[in-house]
Each structure stands twice: as C-alpha cells, then as structure tokens.
C-alpha cells in the first residue's frame, strides 16, 4: 500500500498533532497548522486522531494511489478530483489502484489535508511523524515532498471499510463540528501577560480594529499589518516559553501570531493567545485575508475547548458505530 507523488505541490509535508515532550531541548512541536482538520479526517477514517496526515498548500500535490485505498480530504477546498470524479471534503472515498488525486483550483482556504485509512508509514522522531523542516528530520526524510517520492501505508486498509464495495461513504461530518472557516474571521483570544501594559488606544485597536495577514507569513508565524499599537512603557523582556497561538507584539507596533513551527521561546511582549478551538480559522488564512480579535475570559476559553473535545469524542463514537453496522 503506497502513494506516489506525481507533482509535489509548493509545500507538501507530513504532520500530526505535534511533537511534545522535547521543548526543554529547544525542539518545537511542529504538527498540522489546522489541527482540527487533521483530527477530524483521522477520526472519520477510523485512525488514531494523531495519525500522520499530508498537509498541502496551493498548488497542492498530484498523488497516485498505487493500490486500492480509503482516504478523505478536508480543511481547504481545492476542488479535489479523483481521476474525473469530484471529491467532497470530510467524506471517506475508495481510491482504485492507479487512480490519481488532484487539486486543480483554490476555491477556499489555504491548507488541504489528506488522510488515509491505516495511516502513512513515516519517520517518527521523538514520538511524532511531523516534519521539522529546520532540523531536517521527521515525516518523510525531514523535508517537503518531491516528485517521485513513494510513501507506504502503515497497515492495509480494511477491506470492509465501506459496505458493498461502495466508492464513497454515506456518512459525513456534521457542519456544526467543522471549524467555521472564513476569509475574515473574528477569533477568540485570552489576554496575555503583557496585555494590560498596552496604551488605552492600543487596547482599543486590538479589540476593535481588523488586521491583514501579511504575505511574509509562514508555518512559523503569521505577521499582521494594521494600525500600530504600543505598550505604555517599553518593557525589557526576558525570553520565555511561547505557544502555538501566542500573539506577540513586535517593536514596530505590529503583531505576529505564532503558528505550528514557532520557536519554543520568545522575547516579545505576549498580548494574548488565540484559543485552541479557533486556531484552525487562523491556519486557513492566506496573504491579505483579514482577522479581528475578540477577548474572552480564560474560564470561557476552557469551556469552549471542553465542548469542542466532547464533540470530537462523540464523533469518534459515531464513526465506530457506523463502521460496525456497515
């Protein structure tokens, strides 16, 4: 069981839910930018939710299935096609031997994910299959995929995964479980350690203005452009741990949202953290898309995450039931 990369796409890497436990060594977690998409696809396919998936920017890869396989795509909508057949997001499909998956058109979002039943056999490093592009390790040879790369699956797809040899599953993920993607999302933020040091004007700007995603954004962080904001008094900062979603204030008054490949530590004022549940909305933004922030209390952020995790758990049970009864 394997796939062959016929065209590599611009940035196609293996990612999972991140490499944890090694931050003390300066080793950053990496992992899927849109973690919810990666988890949903794995759950849908009956995999462990932290199974390694392919993350693709646009133009995405052209992928040939060497043998029959069950797969699902989600996240961005790049008008996926399996040979001539149109492929919908968030559904399980059966790929015949030698069929080719393509993503011809960027319709919405920035990152599409491909998961296969059984999971990809990738290089695990410190317990994770995510690609660390800086250290050149993990995933597939520690790099983005190139033409001709062949990637095996970990285990054979279950032959009876879809009933009666159907080409696609009858079930799909309910819209209420999907991230509410938008080209101009308002994402919820919990104030960070230095938020209260903002000038009154700075706080107003943070709360009420919108910001544009700069083209020099990448997997390490999304730079924002907008009205500059400042702390009341410049504060000399000591480097401390940062997190996926931490919003840092740069010396020029602009902000950066740290993303999946962020460094483990940082020395800029921490204005807040985008709540985990809303990080996928940020991850799917592209250059010149806009974003606004909405402050919520830490307790409320926990409630949102708790509900989100409960929903995913229910989905897992639902999929298990659907697979057993099929």
Residues at the contact surface with other proteins, assessed by CB under 8 A: 20-28, 125-126, 132, 134-137, 190, 192-193, 235-246, 263-265, 270, 273, 275-276, 298-299, 301-302, 305-306, 309
Closer by beta carbon to other proteins, 127 or else 163: 127
Give 85 or 313: the residue with its C-beta nearer to other proteins. 313
In angstroms, the CA 147 to CA 97 distance is 19
**Residue 74 beta carbon to other proteins: minimum distance, rounded to whole angstroms:** 22
CB of 127 to other proteins, least distance (A): 11
Shortest gap between Cβ of 232 and other proteins (angstroms)? 15
CB of 143 to other proteins, least distance (A): 14
Spell out the SS3 assignment of the chain: CEEEEEECCCCEEEECCCCCCCHHHCCCCCCCCCHHHHHHHHHHCCCCCCCCEEEECCCCCEEEECCCEEEEEEEEECCCEECCEECCCCCCEEECCCCEEECCCCCEEEEEEEEECCCECCECECCECCCECCCCECECCCCCCCCCCEEEECCCCCCCCCHHHCCECCCCCCHHHCCCCCCCCEEEEEECCCHHHECHHHHHHHHHCEEEECCCCCCCEEEEECCCCCECCCCCCCCEECCCCEEEECCCCCEEEECCCCCCEECCCEEEEECHHHHHHHHCCCCCCEEEEEECCHHHHHHHHHHHHHHHHHHHHHHHHHHHHC
Which residue's CB is nearer to other proteins, number 77 or number 261? Answer: 261
Closest CA to 250 of 167, 194, 305, 306: 194
Q: How far is the CB of 286 from other proteins (least distance, A)?
A: 24
Candidates 160, 286, 140, 168; CA nearest to 223 is 286
* Closest to 90 measured CA to CA, from 154, 45, 59: 45
CB of 155 to other proteins, least distance (A): 24
- Minimum CB separation of residue 323 from other proteins in Å reads 23
Residue closer to other proteins, measured from CB, 241 or 287: 241
Give least dist CB 3 to other proteins, A.
26
The residue among 134 and 231 lying less far from other proteins, judged by its C-beta, is 134
Question: Which is closer to other proteins, CB of 119 or CB of 192?
Answer: 192
* Positive/negative CA dihedral, 105, 106, 108, 114: positive
CB nearer other proteins, residue 126 or residue 178: 126
In the complex with other proteins, which residue's Cβ is closer, 4 or 312? 312
């Amino acid at each position: 069981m394997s796939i062959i990369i016929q065209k590599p796409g611009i940035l196609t890497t293996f990612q999972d839910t991140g490499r944890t436990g090694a931050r003390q060594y300066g080793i950053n977690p990496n992992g899927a930018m849109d973690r919810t998409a990666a988890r949903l696809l794995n759950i849908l396919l009956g995999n462990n939710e932290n199974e390694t998936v392919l993350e693709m920017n646009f133009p995405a890869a052209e992928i040939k299935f060497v043998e029959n396989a069950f797969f699902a795509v989600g996240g961005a909508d790049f008008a996926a096609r399996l040979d001539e057949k149109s492929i919908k997001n968030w559904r399980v499909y059966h790929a015949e031997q030698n069929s080719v998956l393509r993503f011809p058109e960027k319709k919405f979002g920035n990152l599409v994910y491909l998961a296969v039943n059984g999971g990809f056999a990738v290089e695990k490093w410190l317990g994770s299959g995510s690609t660390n592009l800086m250290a050149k390790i993990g995933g597939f040879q520690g790099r983005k995929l190139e033409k001709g790369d062949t990637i095996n699956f970990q285990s054979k797809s279950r032959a009876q995964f879809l009933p009666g040899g159907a080409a696609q599953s009858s079930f799909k993920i309910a819209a209420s479980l999907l991230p509410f993607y938008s080209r101009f999302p308002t994402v919820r933020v919990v104030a960070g350690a230095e938020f209260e040091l903002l000038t009154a004007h700075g706080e107003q700007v943070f709360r009420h203005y919108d910001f544009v995603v700069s083209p020099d954004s990448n997997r390490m962080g999304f730079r924002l452009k907008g009205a500059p904001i400042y702390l009341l008094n410049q504060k000399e900062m000591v480097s401390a741990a940062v997190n996926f979603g931490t919003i840092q204030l740069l010396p020029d008054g602009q902000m950066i949202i740290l993303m999946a490949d962020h460094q483990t530590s940082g020395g800029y004022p921490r204005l807040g953290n985008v709540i985990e549940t809303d990080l996928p909305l940020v991850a799917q933004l592209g250059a010149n898309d806009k974003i606004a922030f909405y402050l919520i209390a830490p307790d409320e952020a926990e409630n949102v995450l708790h509900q989100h995790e409960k929903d995913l758990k229910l989905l897992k049970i639902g999929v298990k039931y659907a697979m057993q009864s099929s």
